[in-house]
Amino acid sequence: MSAFWALVRRDLRLAWREGGAISTTLGFYLVVVAILPLGLGPDLNLLARIAPGVLWVALLLSALLSVDRIFHNDHEDGALELLALGPLPLELIVVAKALAHWISTGIPLVLAAPVLALLLNLPAEAFGVLLLTMATGTPATSFLGALGAALTLGLRRGGLLLSLLILPLFVPVLIFGVSAINAVIIGPSPFLPSYLILAALTLATLALTPFAAAAALRLNLQ
Amino acid sequence: MTQTEGLFNRLANPTRFMSIAAAILPWLTGVTVILFAVGLYLTFFVAPPDYQQGETVKIMFIHVPAAWLAMMGYSLIAVSSIGSLIWRHPLADVSAKTAAPIGAVFTFLALVTGSLWGKPMWGTYWVWDARLTSVLVLLFLYLGLIALWQSIEEPSRAGRAAAILALVGFVNVPIIKFSVDWWNTLHQPASVARLDGPAIHSSILTPLLVMAAAFTCLFFVLHLKAMTTEILRRRVEALRMTQVARAAAE
Amino acid sequence: MTRKQRRGVLIGVCLAVLGVAVGLVLLALDDSIVFFYSPSDVAEKQIGPGQRFRLGGLVEEGTVKRGQGTFVEFAITDTAKSISVTYTGLLPDLFREGQGVITEGKLGSNGVFVADNVLAKHDENYMPPEVAESLKKQGVWRGNDKK
């Protein structure tokens, strides 16, 4: 297990020292959310009603921007092949790297969401549930993103292809994440079923994608 | 080697497959044409109007078979994907690759006809209920597979990458099927494939089943033809490569 | 641990996580997520005025009153409770008394549902009109919409 945590720590330290990637992702999140009211007009009631959806969609797009670097650098400099030869099974390498991505990018995005929610006039009672659903849903986006990154590793225009492959897989997370928040603000549907399904989606993603992503990595390492 | 394995291997040999496909295709094409002729005749001249929907019900004879084949096409891709991941068989790759565009077209057809049917009956072209949304996601999955095939040049690598994606996306197929039972949707529940027997009167069910058979045959005609074309394309590619290699050696 | 044992543990953990996920979904489906609410749901969940939701059920027999232009007033029932609905606009072909419909809008303060969209829901039964007639005569008609 020490090899696993060592890999997570290494990825986190790399993300921290590089720094640029995280701030770019956060900047993108801010710009997407800020640009929408300019297109929709300043009607605060309208903004409040669509805020959960806007915040979620923008978060997914921002996460998508950052996932292609999960394996990219390690693949370029050959570190990935060394890792694959090491004691850790490829599946756990995927888990470690996706986990590091979630900690370094997912959590900052989640923490930024309430600040951006102020811009969209999200009702006060929804802030807690906004944080809760996003914290629950974002691990799924990191793991699905890792799968997409593994599939498109080393391809030209890989980033664009990645979006096409992975955005449809984000749809369930988006639907249940938004409906859980809307349940609290607008009602009348109950909060718990949507939230439970969101949690189930994340767990199922955590359990299944490492195998698929590891299989895709094996293809690239041959 | 057991006898069944021997049979499997012989069928899976691309050359053998080509000759079998060449023998089957004309017959299958003929059957498809006849089924369509009968099906369309039944649709337009025999099938009665529905007690509620009147003549509009005829859209069903295209919509329902297209939707079935959209799901069957994806299932076929999933099965082929298992074949190409476990046995690494080139024919399974070819089957998965060529089924994707055909499945995508049937999905698109199901969405468009459903939308045209929805306007007069439901009063809207589109609603975001569970059935419609999950079928739209199916279309996106098909498009993703096609894009992945196009971006990776080496066929065997592309085949296995697409196979992994196809198997992940297969989760969507049961969701489409059961969406109308799990959630209350605007789309009505299943009429034909249900435990207590079809809820369609035989005078409407018969044309529907004939059309479904015609669509299924059409799918396989297109699929077999596309598979043989793809095999030939790969051979031409291989020949070209050896020519280039030879020219470089001289 | 050998590589093989490790793999076994990995797969075991993943199956356990999947099991929990399935459990959560089953728990969630108990209280199902809905596309529309029936009049009984509205009473039970005490959905107040001003909340936007979809109301679905059968158009109650004998309640459809057409007003000026395209204004129409009718009641939606699930046979236990019913709610009056007002709507201005074009109705789908299938709209008629006894038909399943789904409407979108808000409850007014007087308890009348003001719809801005009416969709007709049709059931999974298809048959020629003569068959429908004879089924009705024999009294084995299964009803339009069970919901």
Contact C92 B127 (CB under 8 A): no
Q: Does domain C39-138 have CATH number 1.25.40.20?
A: no
A92 and A210 Cβ atoms separated by less than 8 Å: yes
Domain range enclosing A189:
2-221
The answer to whether residue A29 scores a pLDDT higher than 50 is yes
For residue C97, what are the CA distances in angstroms to A137, B52, C100, C117, C147?
44, 12, 9, 17, 15
The answer to whether residue C146 scores a pLDDT higher than 50 is no
B33 and B40 Cβ atoms separated by less than 8 Å: no
User: What is the pLDDT of chain A when averaged over all its residues?
Assistant: 88
The answer to whether residue B1 scores a pLDDT higher than 50 is no
Backbone torsions φ then ψ of A182, nearest 5 degrees: -60, -30
Mean pLDDT of A56-61: 93
Mean pLDDT of B116-131: 83
Mean pLDDT of C4-17: 84
Report chain B's C-alpha Rg in angstroms. 21
Domain count, chain A: 1
User: What is the pLDDT of chain B when averaged over all its residues?
Assistant: 86
CA atoms within 13 A on the CB side of A28: 19
The answer to whether residue A154 scores a pLDDT higher than 70 is yes
C120 and C95 Cβ atoms separated by less than 8 Å: yes
What does the alpha-carbon distance between residue A192 and residue A184 come to, in Å, rounded to a whole number?
Answer: 10
The answer to whether residue C144 scores a pLDDT higher than 60 is no
Percent of chain B with pLDDT over 70: 92
Residue C128, classified by CB atoms within 10 Å of its CB into exposed (0-12), middle (13-18) or buried (19+), is middle
Residue ranges of the domains in chain B? 57-184+202-249
Contact B204 C32 (CB under 8 A): no
Mean pLDDT of B121-133: 83
pLDDT digit string, tens, across residues C17-30: 888 888 888 777 76
Collect all residues of chain B within an 8 Å Cβ-Cβ radius of residue A168.
137, 140-141, 144, 169
Amino acid at B243: Q
pLDDT digit string, tens, across residues A183-192: 888 766 778 8
Percent of chain B with pLDDT over 90: 39
Residue B156, token pair as written in the block: 């065997």
pLDDT attached to residue B6: 53
Mutation to test the A interface, candidates B146, B164, B175, B184, most A Cβ within 10 Å? B164
pLDDT digit string, tens, across residues B28-84: 999 999 999 999 998 888 888 877 777 788 888 899 999 999 999 999 999 999 988
| ipTM score assigned to the predicted complex | 0.83
The beta-carbon neighbor of B147 closest among A147, A164, A219 is A164
The answer to whether residue B23 scores a pLDDT higher than 70 is yes
Cβ-based interface (< 8 Å): residues of B facing C: 48-53, 56-57, 60, 120-124, 127, 129-130, 182-186, 188-191, 194, 199-201, 203-205
For residue A118, what are the CA distances in angstroms to A89, A127, A169, B76, C62?
44, 9, 29, 48, 50
What does the alpha-carbon distance between residue B22 and residue A147 come to, in Å, rounded to a whole number?
Answer: 39
Indicate the SS3 state at residue C122. coil
Contact B152 A155 (CB under 8 A): yes
Residue A49, token pair as written in the block: 């009603």
Count of CB atoms within 10 A of residue A115's CB?
11
pLDDT digit string, tens, across residues B179-238: 777 666 778 777 776 666 677 778 888 888 999 999 999 999 999 999 999 999 988 988
Kind plus residue range of the DSSP H or E element containing C100: strand C100-107
Of C62, C61, C73, C64, nearest to C98 (Cα)? C61
Least confident range from B96-110, B135-149, B205-219, C108-122: namely: C108-122
Of C68, C88, C66, C86, nearest to C76 (Cα)? C86
